[in-house]
Chain A
């Protein structure tokens, strides 16, 4: 096997000194590979991503990027590493006061001196490159529009354009579609997939939508309680594996009382045909305590029926 682009070993992160947000996680991302990270809220997905570009310092373990150990780099070296790793955020993190193209140009800051960057002295070729990136995500018409006037999906595509002008080897996407409607979500995922296929940029994407992970990924990583519990191709991610990833044992919603005797196979059968689940059924009957339903399967069926609605909307 050739050298991986991102090689994470024994990664452990503790915010408070005793509980672990990440525990001994080891994973690799190859060049041009599209990897999704799934897991319930608080499983450590965001922490994993932010350890990869050192927005968060890991407590233990090592992060090797492009053949270089970046676990302890600082200052100028860290900024040089970061400019080859782009990041995309759930809440887009754009400066809304500025136009699309200005936001995209910010992706070039890592390549500029402090003074030139601070004064916004971008070269003509950089400006053209930024406009091209906006064309690539289909937003050429909105290049000079203030970003607060854009829709959520468009904002996220500006985020992708900003990521592209960094000439990255790796794009980290932290729940890029969690705030978007199904149609915009698909557009955003397609652009990320395109970046991986056409530009050879590896993507490491946190997702809540299992169906999108299955559809777009080369490989899927499952996190549960800060530990890596699944790492494989999408076709290896069967219902049991999904149930395992989302079986937290403790539910955030107090009305969902897992009784431990959940039978995933029942849910599996339901999910063979997602359209058979109406939203009413999903919210009403399946959560009643006493029925042999695990909380994880409730989450799963929720995701599934969301997909069915999405697909029907797409067809129409």
Chain B
């Protein structure tokens, strides 16, 4: 994003340097040069895609032609059948445990991430090396994908619910710390200054100014994290052999596509419901 906006700016600046039009007068070629810059950026973008596609042998024409056939196969194989409804007894508890693991990991991560974010904030933090340390830890946890964490943790904790929970927790922690840092640093520092002026202690300032000022965006981020985690948890479940991911994996690999389709539908329903709920909560708190 930054590169895209910076590139035309740099281009424009260099072109302006060469331009003969004196500062303060009308420059007729300005818009032509801007259009050229945008076209050039678009061409580079398409060319990059084409080159990389060719390199890995991705035939876009063939891929597009394959889509209808694939859709037909999905429509015929993945439609839940009546007998598959009997399996709801297996699906729903697994789905429930996946949802609960996602919420638990998000909330635990949120509490720790918020503490780290406040202490590591540049505006209201404790200063010293703490901001750097917190940013380092957050960046480490965030930049290792949740699937990679699951693989790593599988060795230590074997296939268990805790492995999935822990993998989700670690990425959530990294991601939320980063988001909370932004939230805390972006809030207005006026009330913090006002409380310092009344002689309030650090803990009091955090309780009476920092938390009220940042809570709305913090809750919003936590809700987003829960949504994301429910989706990720499905994938993690396949790896750790727990939750709804595992149920899906079993039926998929034993060619019971109708049941697998039912599992997918259940996951989609939960994701949509979760998003609706979090949108509603967001509207109410903001």
Residues of A within 8 A of B (CB): 53, 55, 78-83, 85-87, 89, 91-95, 97-98, 106-112, 114-115, 117-120, 162, 166, 172
Contacts and interface: CB of A to CB of B under 8 A. Distances in A.
B207 interface: yes
16 contacts: A55-B197, A89-B190, A92-B190, A95-B191, A95-B213, A109-B195, A109-B199, A109-B200, A109-B201, A109-B204, A117-B204, A117-B207, A118-B208, A120-B207, A162-B198, A172-B197
B279 to A, nearest CB: 20
Given A89-B193, A91-B190, A98-B212, A106 B203 contact: no
B250 interface: no
B146 to A, nearest CB: 33
Contact of A117 (B191, B196, B200, B212): B200
Given A95-B213, A97-B212, A106-B208, A79 B191 contact: no
A83 B212 contact: no
Nearest to B202: A114
B204 A118 contact: yes
B197 A106 contact: no
B207 A83 contact: no
A82 B190 CA distance: 17
B194 A87 contact: yes
A209 B95 CA distance: 66
A105 B190 CA distance: 17
Contacts of B207: 117-120
Given A95-B191, A109-B208, A114 B201 contact: yes
Given A81-B199, A95-B208, 10 more contacts: A55-B197, A87-B197, A87-B198, A89-B194, A95-B213, A98-B212, A114-B201, A117-B203, A117-B208, A119-B207
Contacts of B194: 87, 89, 93-94, 106, 162
A47 to B, nearest CB: 14
Contact of B197 (A85, A95, A114, A118): A85
Contacts of B195: 106, 109
B212 A82 contact: no
Interface in B170-206: 188, 190-191, 193-204, 206
The dominant DSSP class at the A interface is mixed
B135 to A, nearest CB: 26
Contact of A79 (B193, B200, B203, B215): B200
Interface string B249-261: 0000000000000
A86 B191 CA distance: 13
A79 B197 contact: no
B177 to A, nearest CB: 22
By Cβ-Cβ distance, the 10 closest A-B pairs, closest first, are: A110-B199, A93-B190, A82-B199, A83-B199, A118-B207, A79-B199, A93-B194, A109-B200, A87-B197, A117-B204
Contact of B201 (A85, A92, A117, A120): A117
A174 to B, nearest CB: 10
Contacts of B206: 118
Interface in B209-225: 209, 212-213, 215-216
Contacts of A117: 200-201, 203-204, 207-208
A118 B205 CA distance: 8
A91 B209 CA distance: 15
A94 B191 contact: yes
Given A95-B209, A95-B212, A110 B200 contact: yes
Contacts of B199: 78-83, 109-111, 166
A147 to B, nearest CB: 10
Contacts of B202: 114
A117 B205 CA distance: 9
A225 B125 CA distance: 33
B208 to A, nearest CB: 5
Max chain B C-beta neighbours (<10 A), residue from A81, A89, A91, A110:
A110
A206 to B, nearest CB: 14
Contacts of A86: 197-198
Contacts of A118: 201, 203-204, 206-208
Contact of B196 (A55, A92, A115): A55
A205 B193 CA distance: 17
Nearest to B206: A118
